[in-house]
Structure 1
Amino acid sequence: MRASPGPCVTSATIPGVVGLQKATPWSTWHPSGNERPARRKATRPAWDTGFAATNDDEFTCDAMAVRLHALETTGLGWCAGYSEDLHPDGTTSLWRCPTPPGRHEAGDVSTYWKNPADTIPLGPTTILARTDLVRAAPMGGLVQGEDYMAALGVTCLAPGILLPLPVYRYRKHPGQMTRQDAYDALEASARRHAWNFGRSLRTALRGLEPSDRGEAP
């Protein structure tokens, strides 16, 4: 464990980054900054972090900048990183997901989830992805595990990259959903559903001809 440097969400002017949900006001992260709402909505976003980020949690200081830089320099569809558990005493512990750092082809992330009972292959809240991918693989209306579905969907639809550094802090406290009695009642089923989805989607996409995927032969 190490002491947390504290909340730091400072990259408020990065162009094209939107969709932090409840973590911070949407307009703060929109490329048009503090312009009138009507003008902000007219600007199409390029990137989205709409993966269950909540006002319980924090982004690290450079979370947006490093991922956006990786996406713009590689042309990949998504970029993720590690996450940290933020404990009540202010200390943090790093969580390294099963997916190794580096580039991953579309569908490869699902292969690092060997069994539904195992740890999920990638932290959904660490993903920054193209908006069109997030719209094509949304969280939907599930009451639990919807972020697993979205993460597997996005990573199956396009190649991406995992950076070996923390980009998200997950606050641990007694009131969080994962500490409630009802959480365990659904978690096994939610994981099994997402696990089957990821494997089925990867298999289906791998079976398409290049022209069907919109790729060069």
Structure 2
Amino acid sequence: MAKAFPLRNRALPDPYHGGVVSLAERSRAAWAAIAARFGGYGFVGPETPAFRCLSSACPVNCCRPFTVALDAEDLERFLRLSGLPVESVVECEGGVPVVLPLAEPYVLAREGGACRFLGADGRCTQYEARPTACRLYPYQVVFVDEGTGRLIAPSPERVREAMAALEGVGGVGTVPVLLFHRACPGFVGEPLGEVAWLRLLRDTLSLQFRRMFAEQPA
């Protein structure tokens, strides 16, 4: 049996204290400690229904209310896969992309109150080229310090700790918590189950923090 690692304090609720627990249980306990901060989000565990985009049947349609930010890698990929000129892809002024002082400085072009690439059938007309934000939605991962039960900022070291937790190694430290956006009505599939949940958590971590993975030593 794997070794149980005691917590530094009792910030996190049961079932944490008193034995070895699965990553799903660790993640659920961490979520209980931070849930009050995330009114618009819910916890994703093995019991959560799988997500399926409802496209034209969706009463919300995330492609309408949300403005999508891109970084340089997203933009390069979009231009390469779509074959479109930059002025057709992102918001521009005088044919020059608008650049904001942000980590993701570009904004995907919009028309008629929606993303320019939203088709009449409610599907993306540039699905393969879609930016990271679209690939992630409706999921995101946050990190919680197991010793304090507090949210912690991501860093390359914490990403490594989170990936180690996925592999079932390491002690008390950073636990990844997978969340879903409550406004999305697309959680209509069968329960994920343990294997699919772990895969989804791993894929979301890898995509959301891809730049930090690139910074890690070989």
TM, length-normalised to structure 2: 0.27
